[in-house]
Amino acid sequence: MPAQPNIVLGVTGSIAAHKAADIASQLTRADCRVNVVMTADAQRFITPLPFKVLSRQPVVTDLYDEEEGWKPTHIRLADEAALLLIAPATANVIARLATGIADDALTCIALALNPAAKLLIAPAMNGKMWLHPATRRNVELLTERGAHFIGPDEGMLSCGYDGIGRLWEVGGIVEKVLELLDTPKT
């Protein structure tokens, strides 16, 4: 693995968003530079503060969050990323990624992502949403374009159903990120 690879961690609006803080922590401890990008919906479940503290980096919460310098933050992050991890990924963000909609910082980063970077998506949603033909087709399109998926897992969901849709176990997601960083892009 290269010295301190840059990872962009996209956090979307799911009850599983709190688990992304542990992902940020584990990746930072694994000597990765983690830049967290939160959607507006993610901020309804968890605030940016834990991510800022655990990653030791500023957290992007808006497309127009700008640092000093001339390059827009979302373009800089897209250029510097070795891997974009979206965990949790909702059906909504998967659909936006599949259709190329870039209407917030996270989807703009995904659309402008450095071609050498990997994309890893860890879905979390209601099982009926995951199994819906539209979602299945969006996953298929993204996979054809080179995206990697991990999960979802089966178990008790926050909506009260028991079935597929849970965010994959945090340690497994971190392991997959580190594995993809060691694997040359094909």
Q: Tokens 């967290």 appear where?
A: 36
Q: What value does the mean pLDDT take over residues 9-29?
A: 97
β-strand pairing of 148-149 with 33-38: unpaired
- Contact yes or no for 124/88 (Cβ under 8 A): yes
Q: Has domain 6-182 been given CATH number 3.20.20.80?
A: no
* pLDDT in the model for residue 1: 45
Give the CA angle between residues 25, 169, 157 to the nearest 5°: 120
Q: Tokens 């033909």 appear where?
A: 133
- Contact yes or no for 35/62 (Cβ under 8 A): no
Dist CA 30 CA 111 (whole Å) = 27
Task: Give the helix ranges, DSSP H, for 45-90.
Answer: 49-55, 73-80
Q: What is the pLDDT of residues 134-172, one digit of tens each?
A: 999 999 999 999 999 999 987 877 777 787 888 999 999
Which residue of the set 31, 40, 159, 161 is catalytic? 159
pTM comes to 0.93
DSSP 44: G
User: Does 108 participate in catalysis according to the annotation?
Assistant: no
